[in-house]
Amino acid sequence: MRFLLVALSALLVHAQEKLVGEFGQEVLGCRCAGGKTTHGNCGYHFHFMSNEEKPWCRTKFGCGHYSIKGPWVYCDEQSVERRRADDGKLYNALQFKKFFDKEGKDKWTNAAKYIETRVARNGKAYTAGEFRDYYIDYLGEEGWVKEWSSSKEESRKANDGKFYTFDEFMQHYGKEKAWQMWDTATKLRPEL
């Protein structure tokens, strides 16, 4: 019985969140490991044993919650990658899973060509992960998410010479033609 209590208390110690930085110092929050690491960007990382309702990421410096595969922390849902479903609207992986049920994973995978992109201060369009990489060193975790949330969606140059967001392509060309027009539109550096 004593062994069981010791093992249980050890598990509880590991279950606590540990907020530490690069040099072992106490920090306000953890930094996601980033795109070079499996599950390094904030997202819904589904596994056969999980039923996630909150996004999470693997972290740097041993910060966050302990798991066998490394430290992790819950992160801001605003930073999660979204993709366009057949209706032309953007959804995250959890929303795909809930709406399409068993087909959710396949539909999510098939929508990879239509990942949300937004325009950074340099005038280039980036996915959420790329956007994070561009801003993280200067703005940190909270800062890049605020910048992402307030930035404009990517626009592309149509045959008529004008720039349109995907939603504007839908309005201008109709649902059926918009997808093809978006795919063939010129990606140029938009004016900010």
Segment holding 157, helix H or strand E: strand 156-157
Q: How far apart are CA 132 and CA 98, in angstroms?
A: 26
What is the rounded average pLDDT of the residues 148-168? 94
Q: How far apart are CA 161 and CA 126, in angstroms?
A: 22
Domain assignment present for 163 = yes
Domain assignment present for 164 = yes
Segment holding 138, helix H or strand E: helix 128-150
The answer to whether the beta carbons of residues 168 and 81 sit under 8 Å apart is no
pLDDT at 15: 59
Mean pLDDT estimate for the chain: 87
Domain assignment present for 136 = no
Q: Is the pLDDT of residue 30 over 50?
A: yes
pLDDT at 175: 87
Domain assignment present for 123 = no
Q: How far apart are CA 71 and CA 94, in angstroms?
A: 22
Boundary (domain end) residue, out of 75, 90, 111: 75
Q: How far apart are CA 98 and CA 121, in angstroms?
A: 34
Domain count, the chain: 2
Q: How far apart are CA 115 and CA 182, in angstroms?
A: 12
Domain that holds residue 163: 155-192
Boundary (domain end) residue, out of 26, 57, 75: 75
Q: Which of 152, 175, 174 minimizes the C-alpha distance to 165?
A: 152
**Parallel, antiparallel, or unpaired: how do β-strands 163-164 and 156-157 relate?**
antiparallel
pLDDT at 54: 92
Domain assignment present for 172 = yes
Domain assignment present for 178 = yes
- Identity of the amino acid at 37: T
Boundary (domain end) residue, out of 75, 104, 120: 75
Domain assignment present for 92 = no
Domain assignment present for 105 = no
pLDDT band at 13 (very low <50, low <70, confident <90, very high): very low
pLDDT at 39: 92
